[in-house]
Structure 1
């Protein structure tokens, strides 16, 4: 009997969940919610269980592996700039696709439709929240950005201490990281069952009818994400990262499917880190730094979604966006991505911020919220694919830098 690749198993589970969900329909929901949906929740909890340990230990290991703070600064600045650049490109692609399709034309907004979204934080609030007053509390709450900052400080501290004591700490965190990776391997063996249990209730409840009125928005986001992945990420992988597009997407397939089904960049992070190291040949020191950072600040899919949804809402309310408003959306969306948590539904918070920045009706969020789960699948998948693309680029950059300095 031929053993199937885990990615194939996950994809089969995804297809089966759609087929079974459409056949079963809403009458089967009580049974599905009672007996099957909890399995998906358990799978998500298993992944969440590993997020903070993986981020903390991997970042500390990545920091200490870099060897000096100068190297850390060099990689960090390049990584952030590349992440923000691809995010801006994603919003522009979203505008372009929506400008061709014109989603929302002829759709009437219900007068009582509204959705409550918690207020988006200001840029200064994001910066303040980055510094954890209590690192343990931040870990307990799975606040990734403060955990990243604390991990960076721990790594710098170990580098500054140096000597035998630093070496003992480095070996300790390295061992912890290895244990985390082994646990991730065990958790991932249950992925097909978790994926099936996660998607089945969504399909059974909504069916195809919920997608039909807003199919143009879904199509715009899906096509835009595909274009961004094939054009931007393939170019980065081929011309800057040293991988063919086929090699890149094959190596990313498991993490992409997990992101697609869980709608969580943070949940896909452990799998993404494992695949980048084992399948794409990225060094642990680079992946341990670039990937956790990307899971927090790199939101290309969410940015593209904001471009599409902004034009969609403008069309629904009969508002013509000016070039200045479009530029403001690109700027606000790019900066807002820094403070967006890698959890399901965070895109609505960013979209609310963008709508406020250009004066579009916040009530338009009600339309998007109805299909947000579907859109979240595409944008989260693109988010973590971008993390992988930037990671292999930075790995090649470091290899070139090292080679040049050895030759000199």
Structure 2
């Protein structure tokens, strides 16, 4: 009798555990040895990076094709509008709860008041170079109306080449609307081509995902071997507040939303999305986890694919509750550390900007750091202070990405309620049925 193969999420969990404990043991016994540097430089880091680059290589074609097909399969503009508004309302409400929760906890526990100044100065020195690069990035990324204008690409190929996910998503949204409104044989053939692109991207991603357990082990080993337990204890109070707020949102807020608005058992939901959660935690990237999330939504949660494709592809960039929460906590933590007393009005402004930041932040590792630098500059907190948190950001990035991806899947469940996967009836912008 053939042995039953372990599920992929179990294999990834095993890879994560092996990488973590192996890295901690090596860090304890051989932290500064040359062979460890050679191992991380020439084996574990390249393997993990190649895996991530393979995923990122396929993100643009997958995101474009999935969003176009998600819109095209709506069948009419009214269905698209209904689903879009439901997704937007969900994002704003749940992101607001996340940011408020984080800011309440950072005000109650005051983690910035207990940091050793000497340790903070050392952390600032260690992260000075990278922090300055992030600050410069924040200054050149555009704000306000300029950022809104930049969502509309003047050259979609340049936007794709520069990994401008929001601009690519805007083009895909417009392209999908065009397919809905164009009832010609040529448009039908284009729709078939886009569906074929989606199928090919998913096939290639399924091949890449087979190597996930090995890549996860290498990524986590590299992290643990280089940083050891310092990853969790250098800024213990700050880490505890962030992780605590993320945990409350994940295991209290989301279950309530699932019960009340989604009509689904939280136990069934979390059991079904284990694979996506492990992938999100391991890669620290919503975009890299998108293929797994799409697979889980259709195969495990049995959601209508037209809704799951639309909500999840949009959500990978525009529905990041964990990122919004993290940004609010970090800005207030840095304000506490530098002795900047923020009024309730200033904290409310921080909250609003964090909600918008959670919508517009790139779904890649450390994508929220430029946004934090920008917010710090707005409220008089030294932006270079982000150098303090760089040592623990990777771990917190893994945690908040898990919340982001879980939130996208919760949104897909909520928005799918009342929607069906039946063949759509195509109508034009005036509501007239197309032949």
Which moved further from structure 2: 115-124 or 252-261? 115-124
Report 1:192-203 matches (<5 A): 192-203=213-224
Task: Determine if the alignment matches structure 1 residue 369 to structure 2 residue 390.
Answer: yes
2:304 and 2:420 in contact (8 A); partners too: no
SS at match of 1:67: coil
Deviations 1:141-189 (A, max 9, x none): 3321111111112111112211433322222222321222222222111
CA distance in 2, matches of 1:24, 1:122: 44
Cα shift at 1:130: 1.2
Which moved further from structure 2: 352-361 or 194-203? 352-361
Task: Determine if the alignment matches structure 1 residue 272 to structure 2 residue 258.
Answer: no
1:50 and 1:270 in contact (8 A); partners too: no
SS at match of 1:110: helix
Report 1:286-305 matches (<5 A): 286-305=307-326
CA distance in 2, matches of 1:84, 1:41: 34
Cα shift at 1:210: 4.1
Give the count of matched residue pairs. Answer: 402
Aligned position for 1:394: 415
Cα shift at 1:353: 2.1
Report 1:232-381 matches (<5 A): 232-381=253-402
Report 1:27-42 matches (<5 A): 27=33, 28-42=36-50
Report 1:82-161 matches (<5 A): 82-107=90-115, 108=117, 109-110=120-121, 113=125, 114=128, 115-116=131-132, 117=134, 118-119=137-138, 120-161=141-182
Aligned position for 1:4: 6
Aligned position for 1:406: none
CA distance in 2, matches of 1:222, 1:145: 28
Deviations 1:114-135 (A, max 9, x none): 4212225202222222112221
Aligned position for 2:26: 24
Which moved further from structure 2: 161-170 or 125-134? 161-170
Deviations 1:378-401 (A, max 9, x none): 11111111111111111114349x
CA distance in 2, matches of 1:5, 1:46: 22
Which moved further from structure 2: 328-337 or 165-174? 165-174
CA distance in 1, matches of 2:400, 2:231: 19
Cα shift at 1:78: 2.2
Cα shift at 1:317: 2.0
CA distance in 2, matches of 1:29, 1:18: 17
CA distance in 1, matches of 2:401, 2:48: 18
Gaps of 5+ in 1: 403-408
Aligned position for 1:204: 225
Which moved further from structure 2: 358-367 or 226-235? 358-367
Q: Normalising by structure 2, what TM-score?
A: 0.88
Aligned position for 1:223: 244
4+ residue stretches of structure 1 with deviation over 3 A?
111-114
Aligned position for 1:15: 17
Aligned position for 2:428: none
CA distance in 2, matches of 1:239, 1:178: 34
Deviations 1:336-376 (A, max 9, x none): 22321111111111211221222222232111122111111
CA distance in 1, matches of 2:338, 2:407: 33
1:50 aligns with one of 58, 63, 69: 58
2:70 and 2:307 in contact (8 A); partners too: yes
1:90 and 1:228 in contact (8 A); partners too: yes
1:76 aligns with one of 77, 84, 97: 84
2:67 and 2:314 in contact (8 A); partners too: no
Deviations 1:247-292 (A, max 9, x none): 1112221111111111111111111111111111111111111111
2:56 and 2:288 in contact (8 A); partners too: yes
1:332 and 1:357 in contact (8 A); partners too: no
CA distance in 2, matches of 1:82, 1:346: 22
Gaps of 5+ in 2: 424-435
CA distance in 2, matches of 1:59, 1:361: 39
1:29 and 1:201 in contact (8 A); partners too: no
CA distance in 2, matches of 1:302, 1:210: 19
Deviations 1:201-227 (A, max 9, x none): 111111112431201111111111111
Cα shift at 1:93: 1.0
